[in-house]
Copies of this chain bind each other. A is one copy, B any other.
């Protein structure tokens, strides 16, 4: 997997429990997606050249362990699948060796002039394929494909 973000947990991200607030785990994944975009050539210069950007369509988060203020965390990222317009991405937030939060996301390539979905620019598409190829040995993460619901009654 690709390390896409690393930070110390800031006090303003925590809640009344002194833990990272649920929304701020997603903020770290959002920063990780920014880094992934840079890696794929969709940094500010790439967005200006192509007129494209990525929008988040759908996100799933599983909270597995707490993270507290000042702890260092990092986000590891796997491209699970893609087509000509979409990236199915998995971000995993680690505190040391502990998987603290898992997130799968569907991202869509958007033509900013029209606000509509668009096929990846050729250079970007090649980088997407290269990343997919580089990660082809990785298994589909366990926290992909989940449905939210209460357990069936016993």
Contacts and interface: CB of A to CB of B under 8 A. Distances in A.
Most buried by B among A17, A22, A56, A105: A22
B150 A145 contact: no
Given A23-B29, A148-B106, A150-B81, A62 B58 contact: yes
Count of this chain's copies in the oligomeric assembly: 2
Interface string A37-81: 000000010000000010111111111000000000000000001
A83 B30 contact: no
Given A148-B145, A150-B83, A57 B53 contact: no
A58 B23 contact: no
Interface residues of A, number: 38
Nearest to A112: B17
A46 B29 CA distance: 32
24 contacts: A17-B53, A22-B33, A22-B59, A23-B26, A23-B29, A24-B27, A55-B63, A56-B63, A57-B63, A58-B148, A59-B59, A59-B60, A59-B61, A59-B63, A60-B60, A60-B61, A60-B148, A81-B149, A88-B148, A88-B149, A105-B148, A106-B148, A144-B148, A146-B147
